Structure 1
Amino acid sequence: MELKKILNKVADFRVQGRCLHLLADILGLVLCGVIADCDDFDEIADYGKDNTAFLQQELGLSFVNGIPSADTLNRVIRHLDSHSLEQCFKACVAGFSLAGKQVCIDGKELRGTIPAGKKHALVRMVNVWVEEHSLSFGQVAVEAKSNEITTIPALLSN
């Protein structure tokens, strides 16, 4: 499936007719910038300017009004509906089969969230990693009063 078709499925929260850049173009640029190891929105905007021809010809992104500024990228990503974006990326990886693959499951407590005098952090996460594809296939926060073992089946069912 073409990248732009997948990215067009993400719900656009912006007022139509008042936007210079298509949401699919912004998301495609940010995705490629992150894959290219850009650290912030300024670097992603610079990456877009340096690779406009590739983004347009190979990925089908349009950039009718040029590459969005770093401020535009920041503003759009900050206000984006994360659940809509999650569904989009699930559609991207839907073609990957995990049958016969080694799945690594890892639980972590996030540093800096341990209250003074307590043993455990307030934020605990479980991740699923597939080394063969070098992709994380899921990440879920462990609910309070629960543990990683009860979270794993819910994560794997997604």
Structure 2
Amino acid sequence: MQELLEWMEYIEDSRQQSKVRHTLKDILVIVLFATLANADDWVEMALFAEDYQDYLRKYIELKNGPPSHDTLRRVMGMVSPEILQQLYGKWQERLNRNEGELLKKIICIDGKTMRSNKRNGEKPGHIVSAWSKEDGYCLGQKAVGEKSNEITAIPELLEKIQVKGQIVTIDAMGTQTAIAEKIRNKRADYVLSLKANQGTLYEDVREYFEDPEFQKEIKERGIYKKTQEKAHGQIETRE
């Protein structure tokens, strides 16, 4: 972590230093940690800094206390996207050091729209994230213009993170041959969602699972499970 903190010291701060109350390093660390904690707007990041300021002071000074959400938004708007990519890249490098295949973990890849980040009438940004379910932190992120760009962003994100020996889950948007091949080339397993609009693949899989002999086999082996629950105003059945 010390190496990353030292790297932040060299990032140019374009603000008038006589008016600066919160160092750029402080703000970058807050945004990094808050994002890893799944905060998705400036207000949540400011609340994170307020609630965890004692922990944050292990790494940063916070001379004037935690910054406001307006300060976070304004200062981060001055930081170039390239610097942010380098920051998350260096964090990812730190996580990937000495990683092995000791334990299979579930890595959830999903996209979400960032609230409260619209500028000049533009659409809000969309972020594709890789989340480690067991560890409870974000492994990496990729910014995209809109949800439809997730298909191209997912392989790029997979290239940047360590998934060897893990299980990658993606919703139906990511059920693409190229993405599945990318995961296998990275020596990981995958669980991909299927929808009826995915043509013959959906029908083939449904026919396979509806085969009486197959159902009998998985029930005898104890690997069959069926659940029902009420969600979104309807009964959802999973098996």
TM-score normalized with structure 1 length:
0.59
Is 2:26–2:62's contact at 8 Å kept on the other side of the alignment? Answer: yes
Aligned to 1:6: 7
Give the Å deviation of 1:128: 8.4
5+ residue gaps, structure 2, are: 112-127, 145-150, 161-239
Aligned to 1:26: 27
Give the Å deviation of 1:77: 1.4
Aligned to 2:76: 77
Rounded to whole Å, the distance in 1 between the matches of 2:157 and 2:32 is 23
Distance 1:48 1:133, change over 3 A: closer
Which structure has the larger Rg?
A: 2
Rounded to whole Å, the distance in 1 between the matches of 2:10 and 2:26 is 12
TM-score normalized with structure 2 length:
0.42
- 1:132-147 to structure 2, matched below 5 A, reads 139=142
Superposed CA offset, 1:59-111 (max 9, x none)? 3x10111111110001111221111221232222224558889xx9x9x9xxx
Superposed CA offset, 1:6-36 (max 9, x none)? 3334332323332111111001111222222
Rounded to whole Å, the distance in 1 between the matches of 2:67 and 2:143 is 31
* Amino acid in structure 2 at the alignment position of 1:47: F
Is 1:49–1:67's contact at 8 Å kept on the other side of the alignment? Answer: yes
Rounded to whole Å, the distance in 1 between the matches of 2:141 and 2:43 is 28
- 1:1-158 to structure 2, matched below 5 A, reads 1-2=1-2, 3-56=4-57, 58-59=58-59, 61-95=60-94, 97=96, 139=142
Is 2:39–2:45's contact at 8 Å kept on the other side of the alignment? Answer: yes
Question: Between Structure 1 and Structure 2, which shows a larger proportion of helix residues?
Answer: 2
Alpha-carbon RMSD across the aligned residues, in angstroms, is 4.2
Q: Looking at both structures, which has the greater relative contact order when contacts are Cα pairs under 8 Å and sequence separation is at least 6?
A: 1
Distance 1:155 1:14, change over 3 A: same
Rounded to whole Å, the distance in 2 between the matches of 1:10 and 1:76 is 13
Rounded to whole Å, the distance in 2 between the matches of 1:127 and 1:155 is 8
* Amino acid in structure 2 at the alignment position of 1:16: Q
- 1:93 aligns to what SS in structure 2? helix
* Amino acid in structure 1 at the alignment position of 2:79: L
Distance 1:62 1:81, change over 3 A: same
Counting matched residue pairs gives: 140
Is 1:41–1:74's contact at 8 Å kept on the other side of the alignment? Answer: yes
Rounded to whole Å, the distance in 1 between the matches of 2:17 and 2:56 is 24
